[in-house]
């Protein structure tokens, strides 16, 4: 389809040591001592100066980010529904709040949904502790956010470029925000935009635009993704929404809706996965799992082991990936399962001016 992208349709500072001139002046009075005697003090001084300079850079960046957040909120905020805040790592984040009390947060870094809470305040998504540690560091954007719903685009998994592509470790921009005009039940929404850059073209030499809309409909979380080829030549891509869902215990979790499907079992050898057929009504976990279910149904459910399940409905996303690292991540593997909606087995091919669109919806239901 030749078209332009459109809006989604409903569906402390550290004190450094000053240069110690007196210590330096004292060295000639002790000629028997080697010159190296003074080095530890000099090295401490250099480290202190470097730490102070680094802290000043961090403070300056934080001040700049705070000003950016304020300006973005002024431009795109909607009272009671949409606000731009300092999210995890102090990064610019769009927070959507529904009248029913549900909420979601989307970081502009990576376009990553980092939180989705029910009206009760219960968090549905999972953020890995190692990701939180990086977000709390002086360089919160040193790695992609591992948790929530990160993007894998324009490549899922390993390949010609870096693992899972580049969309998850670059800044997205806010294109629009809105709220359904119904006064009693407004659905807040934000659309983020990602465009090609010198950085992206060094890995993937194509011009493109991605529009990604995130919305709340009551307690439901909805996303709508459009990819437009703005180049003068065709390209292909694969993608996934790498969704981390919190569970009570991975050994009590189960995925339903996959029986009868062919899948690639990447657990033993990701480069040469075994092709199998799923015979289980429920996919449970007793070891590491890395399975790509091909031509999957548009609805699957993850029983999280609390008497509730996360129901996932998708459109134009042909594959489902189920992943648990098991004891490869010993400190926290018990607390999450990834159920990822993907377009992997058949890459999307777009001619110049064509676009591709997909949608996904998550809902919590009682069992």
pLDDT digits (tens, 9 = 90+) for 224-245: 999 999 999 999 999 999 999 9
Prior bond of 241 cis (ω within 30°): no
Residue 133 exposed, middle or buried by CB count within 10 Å (0-12, 13-18, 19+):
exposed
Task: Give the model confidence (pLDDT) of 265-302 as tens digits.
Answer: 999 998 899 999 999 999 999 999 999 999 999 999 99
SS3 169: helix
Mean of pLDDT over the chain: 88
What distance in Å separates the CA atoms of residue 143 and residue 135, rounded to the nearest whole number?
9
**Cβ proximity of 223 and 241 under 8 Å:** yes
What is the structure's pLDDT at 287? Answer: 97
- Top pLDDT among 3 and 31 is at 3
- C-alpha distance from residue 359 to each of 53, 219, 285, 337 (Å): 46, 17, 28, 21
- Top pLDDT among 73 and 19 is at 73
Task: Give the model confidence (pLDDT) of 88-120 as tens digits.
Answer: 999 999 999 999 999 999 999 999 999 999 999
SS3 182: coil
What distance in Å separates the CA atoms of residue 220 and residue 312, rounded to the nearest whole number?
10
Return the half-sphere exposure (C-beta side, CA atoms, 13 A cut-off) of residue 246. Answer: 16
What is the structure's pLDDT at 64? Answer: 76
What distance in Å separates the CA atoms of residue 107 and residue 127, rounded to the nearest whole number?
13
What distance in Å separates the CA atoms of residue 299 and residue 304, rounded to the nearest whole number?
16
Q: If you average pLDDT over each of 2-16, 23-37, 70-84, 183-197, which comes out highest?
A: 70-84
Q: Calculate the CA dihedral of residues 267, 269, 275, 278 and round it to 10 degrees.
A: -10
**Cβ proximity of 73 and 94 under 8 Å:** no
Tokens of 293: 């279910």
Q: Identify whether 219 is a catalytic site residue.
A: no
- Top pLDDT among 6 and 181 is at 181
Task: Give the model confidence (pLDDT) of 318-329 as tens digits.
Answer: 999 999 999 999
What distance in Å separates the CA atoms of residue 275 and residue 256, rounded to the nearest whole number?
19
Task: Give the model confidence (pLDDT) of 196-215 as tens digits.
Answer: 999 999 999 999 999 999 99
- Please give the full DSSP string across 6-37, using - where no structure is assigned: -PPP-----PPPPP-HHHHHHGGG-TTS-GGG
Q: Which of 246, 278, 340, 361 is catalytic?
A: 340
What predicted TM-score, i.e. pTM, was given to this entire model? 0.84
**Cβ proximity of 240 and 345 under 8 Å:** no
Other Cβ atoms closer than 10 A to 209: 17
Fold held by 72-366: Beta-galactosidase; Chain A, domain 5 (2.70.98)
Task: Give the model confidence (pLDDT) of 36-79 as tens digits.
Answer: 434 455 455 555 566 565 555 555 566 678 999 999 999 999 99
What distance in Å separates the CA atoms of residue 42 and residue 24, rounded to the nearest whole number?
9
What distance in Å separates the CA atoms of residue 75 and residue 96, rounded to the nearest whole number?
15
Q: Identify whether 242 is a catalytic site residue.
A: yes
Mean predicted confidence (pLDDT) in 331-358? 97
**Cβ proximity of 229 and 215 under 8 Å:** no
Q: Which of 98, 151, 242, 246 is catalytic?
A: 242
- Report long-range pairs for 40-44 (Cβ below 8 Å, ≥24 apart): 44/17
What is the structure's pLDDT at 61? Answer: 61
What is the structure's pLDDT at 306? Answer: 97
């Amino acid at each position: 389809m030749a078209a332009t992208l459109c809006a989604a349709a409903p569906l402390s500072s550290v004190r450094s040591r000053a240069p110690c001139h007196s210590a330096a002046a004292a060295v000639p009075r002790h000629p028997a001592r080697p010159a190296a005697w003074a080095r530890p003090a000099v090295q401490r001084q250099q480290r202190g100066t470097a730490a102070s300079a680094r802290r000043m850079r961090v403070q300056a960046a934080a001040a700049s980010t705070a000003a950016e957040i304020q300006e973005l909120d002024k431009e795109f905020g909607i009272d009671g529904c949409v606000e731009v805040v300092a999210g995890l790592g102090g990064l610019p984040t769009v927070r959507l709040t529904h009248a029913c009390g549900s909420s979601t947060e989307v970081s502009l870094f990576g376009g990553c949904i980092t939180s989705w809470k029910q009206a009760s305040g219960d968090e549905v998504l999972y953020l890995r502790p190692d990701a939180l540690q990086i977000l709390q560091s002086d360089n919160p954007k040193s790695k992609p956010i591992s948790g929530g719903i990160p993007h894998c685009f324009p490549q899922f998994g390993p390949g010609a470029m870096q693992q899972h592509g580049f969309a998850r470790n670059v800044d997205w921009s806010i294109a629009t925000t809105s709220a359904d005009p119904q006064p009693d039940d407004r659905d807040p929404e934000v659309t983020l935009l990602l465009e090609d850059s010198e950085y992206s073209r060094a890995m993937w030499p194509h011009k493109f635009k991605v529009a990604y809309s995130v919305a709340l409909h009551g307690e439901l979380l909805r996303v709508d993704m459009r990819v437009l080829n703005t180049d003068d030549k065709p390209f292909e891509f694969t993608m996934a929404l790498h969704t981390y869902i919190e569970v009570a215990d991975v050994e009590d979790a189960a995925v339903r809706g996959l029986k009868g499907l062919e899948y690639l079992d990447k657990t033993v050898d990701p480069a040469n996965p075994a092709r199998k057929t799923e015979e289980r009504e429920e996919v449970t976990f007793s070891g590491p799992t890395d399975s790509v279910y091909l031509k999957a149904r548009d609805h699957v459910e993850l029983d999280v082991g609390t008497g509730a399940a996360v129901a996932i409905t998708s459109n134009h996303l042909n594959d489902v990936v189920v992943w648990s690292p098991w004891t490869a991540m010993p400190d926290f593997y018990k607390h999450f399962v990834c159920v990822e909606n993907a377009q992997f087995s058949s890459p999307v091919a777009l001619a110049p001016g064509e676009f591709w669109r997909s949608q996904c919806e998550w809902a919590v239901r009682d069992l």
